[in-house]
Amino acid sequence: MNCPKCKKSDTRVVDSRSTQENTAIRRRRECLECHYRFTTYEYVESEAMMVIKTDNKREAFNRDKILKSMVVACNKRPITLDALNAQVDKIIQDINDLGQPEISSKKIGEIVMDHLANLDQVAYVRFASVYRQFRDVDAFRAELDRI
């Protein structure tokens, strides 16, 4: 594992534990060169799933895309990265429970919004405003009235 700070490959595992849902292993690592500490997650690689984009192109499912969009939506909110990773694990479980080899990006967005609504309503509105492409204040108001 390369250190994200100095890029050296000599690191050691300081702590290792399962996530709350037992879907991943969280490892705290330390670089033996610069002593920087960082966290990695190890996941079971599931069957290849394809995402059908709005333009009907297909691409491989990417967990990191979901996490990054949620991090942006939760910016400056009192939500830890561990809490977001736990939500992403739940989202992926919901997607896998559908039992389909392909899923639309629209369906993924809806599942993410459901989880964000339960996690933090401000983050939900931020995500929804981009996902649903709100054009004006009335669209915001309608969404706020809905929740």
At 16-27, the pLDDT tens digits run 998 767 778 999
Q: Give the pLDDT band of residue 28 (cuts 50, 70, 90).
A: very high
Indicate if the pLDDT at residue 92 is higher than 80.
Answer: yes
What is the pLDDT averaged over residues 3-14?
94
pTM: 0.68
Comparing 11-15, 106-110, 111-115, 143-147, the range with the smallest average pLDDT is: 143-147
Q: Give the pLDDT band of residue 131 (cuts 50, 70, 90).
A: confident
The count of residues in the chain is 147
First to last CA, the chain: 43
| pLDDT score for 38 | 95
Q: Give the pLDDT band of residue 1 (cuts 50, 70, 90).
A: confident
Q: Which of the 8 DSSP states describes residue 9?
A: S
Q: Which residues contact residue 51 at a Cβ distance below 8 angstroms, ignoring those fewer than 6 apart?
A: 58, 59, 60, 61, 62, 102, 103, 104, 105, 108
| pLDDT score for 24 | 81
Instruction: Spell out a b/e string for 116-141, using b for 16 or more CB atoms within 10 Å of the CB, else e.
Output: bbebbeebbbbbbeebeebeeeeeee
Q: Give the pLDDT band of residue 45 (cuts 50, 70, 90).
A: low
